[in-house]
Amino acid sequence: MPRPICSTLSLVIRTARTAAEIDDAAALYVRSGSAAFTWRPDGHFQAADFRTFAQDEEVWLALMGEALVGILSIYRPEHFIHCLYVDPDAQHLGVGRALVAHVRRVVGAPLTLKLDVPNRRAVQFYEATGWQRMTGLDDQGVDDAGIKWARYRLG
C-alpha cells in the first residue's frame, strides 16, 4: 500500500516569530477548534482570543513546507499546554505527537493540559501517547457552559 504523500514531507517545528505568524496560528485555532469541538456554540473559537493567549504564552508552529499544519501554545511558568491544534487536513500524520514531543524536550519538565471530556478524539490521543488523567479535586470540573473538563499530565 503506498504511503500518503504528506508522510514524505519534513516537519519543521519552531516558535512563532512575527505578528503575522501569530495571526496565521490564530486562524488555524479557529478553523481546527470549530471543526473539532462540535458541542461548542458557533463562534466559540475567536482569533482575538488566541492572540490574547499568545501575549503570555510561547506559540510553537508545525510547518510542512510553507504550510502551517499545527500549533501548540504553552504557558511556560506552569508547563501548561493551553492550545494544541492540528489543521483538519493534516490530522493523523503525527503532527500533534511531534509538537508535544518537541516542546516536552525543550521544556524538560512534566507537562499538563486541560481538555473537554466530550472530546473523545483528544482523550484517546492523549491517553494513547502516555498522558495520565489527574485525580485531584482541582483536576476536573464543569465550565460555565456546563461542559465537563479534566486535567492531564505527561511526566
Residue 144 has φ and ψ, to the nearest 5°, of -60, -20
Number of domain units in the chain: 1
60 occurs within a structural domain: yes
Q: Model confidence over 88-115: pLDDT tens digits?
A: 999 999 999 999 999 999 999 999 999 9
Domain that includes residue 99, residue range? 5-109
Give a yes or no: residue 17 inside a domain.
yes
From CA 70, how far away is CA 25, in angstroms rounded?
Answer: 8
- Is 47 within a domain? yes
What CATH number has the domain bearing residue 58?
A: 3.40.630.30
- Position 77 in a domain: yes
- The verdict on residue 75 lying in a domain is yes
For residue 36, count other CB atoms closer than 10 A to its CB. Answer: 18
The model's pLDDT over 129-151, given as tens digits with 9 standing for 90+, comes to 999 999 999 999 999 999 999 99
Residue 146 falls inside a structural domain: no
Give pTM, 2 decimals.
0.90
Q: What would the pLDDT profile of 48-63 be if each residue is shown by its tens digit?
A: 999 999 999 999 999 9
Using the predicted structure, report yes or no on whether residue 68 has a pLDDT greater than 70. Answer: yes
pLDDT band of residue 41 (cuts 50, 70, 90) is confident
Q: Is residue 149 part of a domain?
A: no
Q: Which amino acid is present at 88? A: P
